[in-house]
Structure 1
Amino acid sequence: MRQLALNRLDELRKAMDLANNHGVTFECGLISALRLHGVELPLLPRRALDLEKLHIVVDDPAKRRIWNGAQCHLLTKPAWRSIPQEHRREYSPTQIIEGVHATHPLLVWAQMARILDEDELTVLADSMMRRNQSDPHFTPDDFNALLEILPPRFKGRAKCRNAMRRMRENTDSSMETRLRLRLEAEPLPELRTLQVNHKVAVNETGASVYLDMALPDLRIGIEYAGRHHADQWSDDVSRQSALTAVGWEVLTAHNDTLKDAEQWREFLIRLTALVLSQRQRQR
């Protein structure tokens, strides 16, 4: 949240400077809109968008301008004016300060499909449906509703459809989503039942913990290190002991697990062995 707040302040400063220096009204889009809305940025392809510049969107070539510190993008489809008239109010740009607006977050997601790969488009969608993030907070139905009214053809529409099948509500971090997507691409059949943010009761009083991901039938939890667990257990050792006591085993992945091929292979071997072990225990 601290990084999101810093990003928002930096982007607000850029927008205010541009508005004051040129006395213009404009719409911030793409990554600038995401920052202003407090949404975590996905990983961008190299040189896709300049992170230092303010990104402005227009839907008419005549409206394009060249300003220092800003980059102007011509976006016609999907854009706000490509939405049917009866639905435009719902997806109107948000006024941030006087003269400065930001594209609606859902519309930004659809526009980013021309830039992002399918995995990162899914990561972006998950970040807009975070468990502890209320503004903006969307559901899979919201993404589907937007796609239903957008033009039948626009660059990235197929990626949007595929991402919708893979997105998950109520996650806690982008790295958690990347770990899940990596696991779901593996051939281990048990991973087809992977659930996110799984709640596990650990004693008779109703105390519970949440796991990033879980295979509930096998009582296997998978976590990404470094997350804040939104439950009453602040001590990891106590948490692990409580889970073990009710028959759960937990594997933890780190950033290096995803980056290093050998570490990823070792992680999968440990997971496969744990699947076999938990099956034996349940017999």
Structure 2
Amino acid sequence: MTMNTVEHRRSGLMAQTCGRRVETTPVRLLRIQAETLIRCRELQARVASPLIFALSTALKLLCIDVPNGLDHDELVVVADSQKTRRRIVGVRCIYWSYPMRFVHLDGIVCVAPDTTWLMYARRSELESLVLLGDAFMRRDRDQRWMPLRDFRDSCHTIHEQIRKTGRRMPAGTAQLRRALVLMKENTDSVRESELRLMLLSYGLPMPQVNPQLDIKKMPGQANANIRRKLFLDLAYPEYKVAVEYDGKYHAGNWEEDVRRRMILEDAGWVCVNATWSDMRTDSERRAFAASVASRLERQSGRKHAVSGPISLRRLASRLMRRMKRAEDSGGSDVEEARACS
């Protein structure tokens, strides 16, 4: 029997799906790591002396979610002196003469996450530093490198080592202090972190990050004795207002998202969902912040005005002053101020 091999015309939706599959974050990070590892091995095989990979290359090797502002396709290596700087076609070589921590990975050496964060301070925007710091402290244990307290201690240790040598601190040290008060543990994605910073910039209170809710169904509902544990992207538990980011992953989980929202609403919660389009322009960001503020007013009976947007630098300075006052007063106010930041 002769087979007709003529390609049949596809519908518009079928054409859109060809070659487009939504990867989960862990799968995407592992794929990027494997691709980067191959490139690093090929480069190392061409060079006689050992290379130390840095910046975005190191982040990809360590399966860390790289914010768009820091993501570069070129391989990056680091030298500890001007004399050892390399000139390799297609490779960027940076100079770093301060203490470095390393990670060894299948014959490849790269800079550790905390040192990489310090390296970025002099060449990155404050928002990118916060997003990267959040990525080191993901809620997913497989993506998590360290808690915030250990992160602060590690950076402090490196700075103390520099002070003991009598050298000036690296450029961008003040920027790092600002980033530390804006960073949060237990985030799930870069978009969630961007959403949190956006709400703060428009004068809204600091939301909790990925709080776990233990919700019991209301009497009279089916399976009323069943409890559900839910994690919310961002939330104001005292007002029962949740703010969720709907990315590509949610497109294939529509039924679960509807069920989840019904459970929240049955428990008295109000949910505000953000998409990428809500964060594109100043007017769209302000409109979304106003939408969250109106829910907070409705749930609390108190006015929540939208202002700004205030820069992250000013916002960080404000939070640092609040923490300083708490430290000066002593007592448990210090931890409370840290939580608010």
Verify the 8 A CA contact 2:187 2:210 in the aligned structure 1: yes
Cα deviation, residue 214, structure 1: 0.5
Residue segments in structure 2 that go unaligned for 5+ positions in a row: 1-25, 164-168, 217-224, 303-341
2:297 to 271, 276, 279: 276
Residue of structure 2 in register with 1:87 after alignment? none
Q: Which residue matches 1:143?
A: 151
1:164 and 2:180 aligned = yes
Q: What is the SS of the residue equivalent to 2:230?
A: strand
The answer to whether the 8 Å contact 1:44/1:115 transfers is: no
Alpha-carbon deviations, 1:174-218, whole Å to 9, x = none? 010011011111123xx13x1110122221533121110011111
Cα deviation 1:5-44 (Å, max 9, x = unaligned): 2221221122111111223311001111111111111232
Correspondence 1:96 to 2:100: no
Determine if contact 2:243/2:272 at 8 Å carries over to the other structure: yes
Q: Does 1:31 align with 2:56?
A: yes
From the CA coordinates, give the structure whose radius of gyration is larger: 2
Q: Is the 8 A contact 2:198 2:285 kept in 1?
A: no
In structure 1, C-alpha distance between the alignment counterparts of 2:265 and 2:213, rounded to whole Å: 11
Scaled by the length of structure 1, the TM-score of the pair is 0.85
> Using the alignment, how far apart are the partners of 1:280 and 1:144 within structure 2?
38
Tell me whether 1:224 sits opposite 2:249 in the alignment.
no
Stretch moving more, 51-60 or 130-139: 130-139
Q: CA RMSD in A?
A: 2.2
Residue in structure 1 matching 2:209, options 196, 202, 220: 196
Equivalent position amino acid for 1:260 in 2: T
The equivalent of 1:120 in structure 2 is: 128
Q: What amino acid is the match of 1:272?
A: A
| Identity across the alignment (%) | 26
Give how far 1:280 is off: 4.4
Residue 30 (structure 2) pairs with residue 9 (structure 1): no
| Structure 2 counterpart SS, 1:15 | helix
How much does 1:252 deviate?
0.7
* Distance in 1, Cα, partners of 2:258 & 2:106: 47
Q: Distance in 2 between matches of 1:101 and 1:21?
A: 15
Q: Deviations over 1:115-148 (max 9, x none)?
A: 2211110110111111114355211112211222
In the other structure, the counterpart of 1:264 is: 285
- Contact 2:247/2:276 (<8 A) preserved: no
Read off the aligned partner of 1:187 and give its amino acid letter: G
- 1:109 matched to 2:117? The reply is yes
The answer for unaligned runs of 5 or more in structure 1 is 81-90
Alignment of 1:45-64 (within 5 A): 51-64=72-85
Q: Secondary structure of 1:62's match? A: helix
What is the alpha-carbon distance in structure 1 between the residues aligned to residue 49 and residue 235 of structure 2? 51
User: Which residue identity lines up with residue 175 of structure 2 in the other structure?
Assistant: K
Partner of 1:114: helix, strand, or coil?
helix
Partner of 2:67: 42
**Residue type at the aligned position of 2:233:** D
In 1, Cα distance between equivalents of 2:133 and 2:233: 17
Contact 1:113 1:121 in 2 (8 A): yes
* Number of equivalent positions: 259
Runs of 4+, deviation exceeding 4 Å: none
